[in-house]
Amino acid sequence: MAKLKTTLIATSVAAVLLAGAGVGLWIYVGRDVQTEAVDHGQDNELAIAGAKIAIENRFPEAQITFGKTFVHWDDEVPSVCGRVDVVETQDSFDGEERYVFSSGQLLIEEADGTDAVNQKWSDVCE
């Protein structure tokens, strides 16, 4: 009977310790995920600003209107995907077109072709 009591006490203590460790791990991971989300939020803003600068530099004389834009992360590499309307005097394309800015490379449908943007979009935006 004494051995059974000792076994029950030891099992109970082990269960409490494991539960405590599980809760501690859950809190740690939750904080890490929250911190990462905040960090990516600031990084998203910088990535989008970089994409806008790249587009403005590529078309310095154009009137540019940005549409929906989002950032897709592949490990630590942000890719900015979105829509932009680039209006130039010699522009024959009317309306928004898709663009992808990833690893310093900018692709825009009208200038670089729909096939190139489709390929890059499927690689980094989806």
Query: 49-101, pLDDT tens digit by residue?
Result: 999 999 999 999 999 999 999 999 988 889 999 999 999 887 666 789 999 99
Q: Does residue 83 sit in helix, strand or coil?
A: strand
Is the per-residue pLDDT at 11 higher than 80? no
Top-confidence residue, 10 or 110:
110
Any alpha helices (H) in the chain, and if so which ranges? 2-58, 109-112, 114-124
The alpha carbon of residue 96 and the mean position of all alpha carbons in its chain are separated, in whole angstroms, by 22
pLDDT at 30: 47
The overall average pLDDT reported for the chain is 80
Pick the closest to residue 121 from 82, 93, 94 (CA basis): 82
What percent of the chain has a predicted confidence (pLDDT) above 70?
66
pLDDT at 63: 92
Token output for 25? 């791990």
Check: pTM over 0.75? Answer yes or no.
Answer: no
Which phi and psi (to 5°) does residue 34 adopt? -65, -45
Q: State the Cα–Cα distance between residues 97 and 67, nearest whole angstrom.
A: 9
Is the per-residue pLDDT at 33 higher than 60? no
Q: What is the DSSP letter of 49?
A: H
Over residues 17-32, the mean pLDDT reads 52
Q: State the Cα–Cα distance between residues 47 and 37, nearest whole angstrom.
A: 15
Domain residue ranges in the chain: 2-124
